[in-house]
Amino acid sequence: MDSRSQLEAYLKVLEDERQLSPHTVSAYRRDLNDLTAFLTDYLGTPDWDWAGVDRLTLRSFLGWCLRRGLSRRTIGRKLSAVRGLFRFLHLEDRLPTNPARAMRAPRAEKRLPGHLSMSETDAVFDLAEAGAAENDLKGTRTLALLELLYGSGLRLSELQGLDWAGIDFKRAQVKVRGKGRKERIVPVTQKALIALRRYEPRRRESLARRESDIETDPLLVNNRGGRLSGRSIQRSVRDLVSTAAADAGLSVHSIRHSFATHLLDAGADLMAVKELLGHVSLSTTQIYTHTSKERLKKVYRQAHPRS
């Protein structure tokens, strides 16, 4: 197999065996296409082979990424894709050694996730409640999806992929499929359940307008009864946040950040928040503790007479 065929074989493993989402596989493909473009130029031939790539060449690739002005976080992500590819090639006996095994990513700068303050959150929900009072599809749907995003800490992809049957009204919980298609059970607030029941008649009206018989029963639907797109969810949340919290400049994912930050601020256990968010590593969840500490420092500096 040539180098391109071996790369495609690896991406096929990510999609079929590891069952990564299409978005994740596309990100891996972009990162590895950058690597192949660099290697073609660096090695001076389009007929290079993976066996001819050594650790020095891969370090040169990282330097090339830095010269392009990419952030350390982006470079770390690209290196992760490279490591995965070379691990696969080595395990498949297509390479005698793995030159990427001992490579370390540049230390990423720590960025605190953006989130809404409690007052901004209240303003966003007040605006959503006013829209739902119109009792149309858009208003009731927007309130329902916002209650799920903030009340259960869902990712955009998790929310967008939900079916109505995934909501357990009796137990006040929802089954979601997260990254790597891993399922988890997440609590649902009573306000979210109320919003969903309010939205359900409008949803049924849209489902009745379907042009074809579709077996799936999506939770969030558009005017034609089809599954609501992720872009439409983003637009609905962005319109609310930009109106109610104009200076925040936040997105759908910021609602998830707000969910975690507000739980920790109220004294929730870090391990519990980790499970609710569906994080694999505790270190991923720990960034929210930095957010809470920064807020405490800010309050201290503003309030203490000798600060």
Candidate list 256, 257, 262, 274, residue with the active-site label = 256
Q: Is 72 a catalytic residue?
A: no
Q: Does this model's pTM top 0.75?
A: no
C-alpha dist (Å) from residue 158 to 53, 145, 213 = 38, 11, 24
Q: What is the pLDDT of residue 139?
A: 95
Q: Is 179 a catalytic residue?
A: yes
pLDDT at residue 107 tops 80: no
Q: Is 10 a catalytic residue?
A: no
Q: What is the mean pLDDT of the chain?
A: 87
Cβ atoms of 136 and 122 closer than 8 Å: no
Candidate list 29, 83, 177, 179, residue with the active-site label = 179
pLDDT at residue 131 tops 70: yes
Residue 180: name the closest of 9, 23, 3, 10 by CA.
23
Q: What is the pLDDT of residue 112?
A: 58
Percent of the chain predicted with pLDDT > 90 = 52
Selected residue with higher pLDDT from 256 and 249: 256
Candidate list 72, 83, 138, 155, residue with the active-site label = 155
pLDDT at residue 203 tops 70: yes
What domains can be seen in the chain, in order of their start residue? 3-91 (1.10.150.130), 118-248 (1.10.443.10)
Q: What is the pLDDT of residue 295?
A: 61
Helix (H) or strand (E) holding 176: strand 173-177
* Least confident piece of the model among 147-156, 250-259, 289-298: 289-298
Give the tokens for residue 285: 């969840």
Q: Is 115 a catalytic residue?
A: no
> Could you tell me which residues come within 8 angstroms of residue 293 by beta carbon, excluding any fewer than 6 positions away?
none
Q: pLDDT (tens digit, 9 = 90+) per residue, 29-64?
A: 999 999 999 999 999 998 899 999 999 999 999 999
Q: What is the pLDDT of residue 63?
A: 92
Q: Is 101 a catalytic residue?
A: no
Q: What is the pLDDT of residue 21?
A: 84
